[in-house]
Structure formats: C-alpha cells, structure tokens
Chains A and B, each alone.
Chain A
Amino acid sequence: MKQYGFYIDSSKCTGCKTCQLSCKDNKDLDIGVNFRRVYEYAGGDWLKEGEIYRQSVYSYYLSIACNHCDQPACTKVCPSGAMHKRDDGFVVVDEKVCIGCKYCSMACPYGAPQYNEEKGHMIKCDGCYERVAQGMQPVCVGSCPLRALEFGPIAELRDKYGTNADVAPLPSSLTTKPNIVIKQNRNARPTDDQSGHLANPKEV
C-alpha cells in the first residue's frame, strides 16, 4: 500500500499561515473551517530586577493538517464508514455517506475532521489526492513561502529527514501513527510538556 505524508520543518515555520489560507482559497472554505491549522506554542518566564528584566521566553509554530495516520482514531470510531483510509493512504471522508455524528472529531487528537454546520457532515483535509494523482503537490505544500512543508511518499521523507513525529503540543505519535516527519524548532518542547501553552487557541 502506498502511503504519503508531510514533512513539517518547524525550525523554518514563521506561523505565516499561507498554507492555511491557500488551502482555504482552493477548497473554498469559510471562516472557522481550517483543514490546515497553525499552532503557536509559547512559554517562558520573566524576572524583574529593579528597572531591568531577564527572561526565558520561547515560542514556535507547528502547521498541522490531517496526518493521514496509519491507525487513524477517526476511522476507528466512525459508524458509517464515511471516514475511511484510501488505498493511497489518504484518510478521507465520503461526504455522501457521513451522517455528521462528530465522533471522529471527538476521537482525533489533531483536530483534523471538522463538522460543517451548513453541510451537516464532517469535512477534512483530503491531502489534495486528486492533485497528487496528477503528479502535483497539495496546495498548502506548494504555497509555503518558507519552504517549511514538503510532501511525498512517507518512506522517502523518513529516509531524508528521519522519523520524528513528536513535539508539543502534538500527542505521542505512538497512538495513531501519523504520517508526518517533524523537524523540530530549536525551542521545541516534548509532547507531554507542561511548561508552555497553546498561545493562539482562537485560531486553531
């Protein structure tokens, strides 16, 4: 079975959100619907000494869409089978079958499946599988001004960049086996980190 995946270079990502907006433009998504989301993770302390300050502040961004997991939490709970893993490895929702029960979004630890009020069912990143079948890149990947995203067969990406898929605020990759490779930012914190916080909850 084929399996594609994303390489996410968090050391380059500036959180500009071009990936998110180019996706939204291409898929005609409205406010609040984000197939790709950019998480800002930040932390650190300040210390006042008279008129001066010392600090240990850090932040970094992580652009996450659907990770098209090997063991998707979403397909496991889906009662209709609408949420399914295709032969090319993409996890896609069949919008003609989905009943909109939202269990997939409850289960997915990455926020990938999203409920669309208007349509009455779930929608999500489909990896641009139609573009990929034509030899093109997913829209988000080709849009990145920083070249912080790459796309390809996951085996090739892992050969090139290693196998890390763990960094805060992501969950441990052992649970769903996401098909992503993450190059960590210098500020990266581990998956179970408690020192930082999600700094842009409204935006994701």
Chain B
Amino acid sequence: MAWHEWPLMMFTVLAQTSVGSFLVLGGILLSGQLSLNEETRLHKAMFFLWALMGLGFMASTAHLGSPLRAVNALNQLGSSWLSNEIFFGSLFFAAGGFYWLLSILNKGSVQARKGLLAAAMLMGIVFMYAMIKVYLIDTVPTWNNMFTPLGFILTMLLSGLLFAQLLLAGAQSKLTGLYKILPIAGAAAAVISLVVTVLQMIDLSSINSAVTAASGIIDNMQQLQLIRGALMLAALALWFKPLITKNKPTTLLLVPAFVLIFVSEFIARGIFYGLHMTIGM
C-alpha cells in the first residue's frame, strides 16, 4: 500500500466518482425526463458532486511539493499528459460548475445551459482519458497495461453510478426505472472489477525487473484485496436492498453504501500506487 500517496488516491477516486456520476446525471438532464421540480432538486443535490470534485482538487495540491507554483503544471499542455489532465480537469470543473451555477440561479437560456452541460460532459470524458494516459508510462510496467484504464473506468462506474443514485435519491427523483438499472449496472461493474482484479494478480507474476518482482511489492496484497472485495459486496448489498424489499432507495441507505464503495475503491487505488515500479531500479 502506498498511504503516502493519499492525495493522489483521493484526487483520482473523487474525480472519477464526480465525472462518472456527472455523466449519468448529465445524460438524465439532457434526456429531459425529469420534471422541473425534480430538476431543481437534482441541481441542488449536485452541490455535493462539485464538493467532491473540489475536495479532489484540493487533495491533489497536497501532492505537490510546491503548491504555490501549481499553475506551472499547465506549462507542458499538449506534450505532458499530466498537464493535459489538469487542464481538462479544470475545464470540466469550470464548465460543469458554470452550468450548475446558471441552473441553480436559473440564469441563461435553456439551450445555452444544455450546450454547457454537454460540453462539460465532453470535458469530463477527455479529463478521464487524460488521467488514464498519465499513468501509461512505458517505464512503469505495473501501470502501463490494460489494468490501468480498466481500473479507472470501473471506479467511474462503481463509485460514479452509486453516487449518481445517491444524488437522485436525495433529489427525490421519480425515475424508478433508473433505480433498477443503476444497481444492476453497478453489480455488473463489480463482477467485472473482481474478475479484472484476479486477472491482474495473475498478470503481476509476469512483471519483473532485475531488482523488483511485481508480485512481491505489496506484502499483504491478499488481505487488502479481500477487505476491498468485502467492502464492495457490502456496498452492493445495501444498494440492492431496496430492489429486493421493493422499497424506494433512501439516502439513509445509500450514504453508507457510497462510503463503503468509496473506501473499497480508495484501497484499490492505494494498491495501484503501491504497485509502482520501474523497468529498472
């Protein structure tokens, strides 16, 4: 585990959660299936989405040795994926945030707001793409493989979908169909995530430098993965409970479910950073 990378663990998981849920909610908003009141309540609930994203950005600066120079991070826009990530992350935050502000304040034309929303969603996707590219470093064999995009996208799905549902529930949305689709999609993501994890653990044994064997970097890997899987299943159980008991999902149920899935993904990200090694020393 790489606890010392907590700022990056926070940033990436929170960003993926925000973007994931924003894409879901944005899609719903664009589809026009919500009543005006629902929309207003959802916009209010989306405050927490930006709070998470803001928290993520704040955490990310804690990773910097010289946060006052943070603006220099944009110097290599185009050639450095880290610059790109920060740039598109900022655009996503700005466009989405602006859309949200206009919506809350009920300013601007609907058309313009929708355009802004669509643009923010696009920025979110590019942001996520850049974030994946940041870690596809050809000298870091434990990152430079399909498990990095898979892991990141699965976080978007698992944590993002659940968070989207939490906000929808908070907004007292009446889209009952979604209350079925989202947990099922989440469950599918969880199954994929567990399969991917097993595949990755197998793959690790084939990654070696003369100095480091990837399979040996994290001492308590099995333990961590078990905890992580258990947390994920517990979150799923809470998420599915309303479906089984045929009740409406409540925030009271979804908040702990989200906390569980977040911690689970946080541990997974800790493992990810902990697996850092290079092809050399």
Contact flag (A, B; Cβ within 8 A): yes
B211 close to A100 (CB less than 8 A): no
Interface magnitude class on chain A: 35 or more
B208 close to A194 (CB less than 8 A): yes
The minimal Cβ–Cβ distance linking B248 to chain A, given in whole angstroms, is: 45
Q: Does B203 contact A (CB under 8 A)?
A: no
- Which chain B residues numbered 73 to 132 have a C-beta less than 8 Å away from chain A? 73-76, 79-83, 86
Contact residues of A: prevailing secondary structure: loop
A169 close to B209 (CB less than 8 A): yes
A192 close to B75 (CB less than 8 A): no
**Which residues of A have CB within 8 Å of B41?**
none
A170 close to B76 (CB less than 8 A): no
One of A73, A99, A176 near B65 (C-beta < 8 A) = A99
Question: A108 to B209, alpha carbons, bound, how many Å?
Answer: 14
A189 close to B210 (CB less than 8 A): yes
Q: How many A-B residue pairs have CB under 8 A?
A: 128
Q: Does A164 contact B (CB under 8 A)?
A: no
| B interface residues, tally (CB under 8 Å) | 32
B65 close to A106 (CB less than 8 A): no
In the complex, per-residue mask of B173-210: 1 if CB is within 8 Å of any chain A CB, else 0:
00000000000000000000000000000000000111
One of A99, A111, A197, A198 near B66 (C-beta < 8 A) = A99
Q: Does A81 contact B (CB under 8 A)?
A: yes
Q: Does A109 contact B (CB under 8 A)?
A: yes
B280 close to A111 (CB less than 8 A): yes
Q: Does B279 contact A (CB under 8 A)?
A: yes
One of B64, B66, B140, B280 near A170 (C-beta < 8 A) = B280
B279 close to A171 (CB less than 8 A): yes
B278 close to A109 (CB less than 8 A): yes
B65 close to A115 (CB less than 8 A): yes
Tell whether A109 pairs with B139 under 8 Å between CB atoms, given A41-B210, A82-B72.
yes
The minimal Cβ–Cβ distance linking A133 to chain B, given in whole angstroms, is: 26
B86 close to A121 (CB less than 8 A): no
A175 close to B279 (CB less than 8 A): yes
B210 close to A101 (CB less than 8 A): no
Q: Does B230 contact A (CB under 8 A)?
A: no
One of B66, B70, B137, B211 near A73 (C-beta < 8 A) = B137
**Which residues of B have CB within 8 Å of A103?**
82, 134
A and B contact pairs by CB, cutoff 8 A, 17 listed: A64-B281, A73-B137, A76-B80, A77-B81, A77-B134, A79-B86, A80-B73, A81-B72, A98-B72, A99-B70, A99-B73, A102-B63, A106-B137, A109-B281, A171-B280, A175-B139, A191-B210
Contact residues of B with A, CB < 8 Å? Answer: 63-67, 69-70, 72-76, 79-83, 86, 134, 137-140, 208-211, 276, 278-281
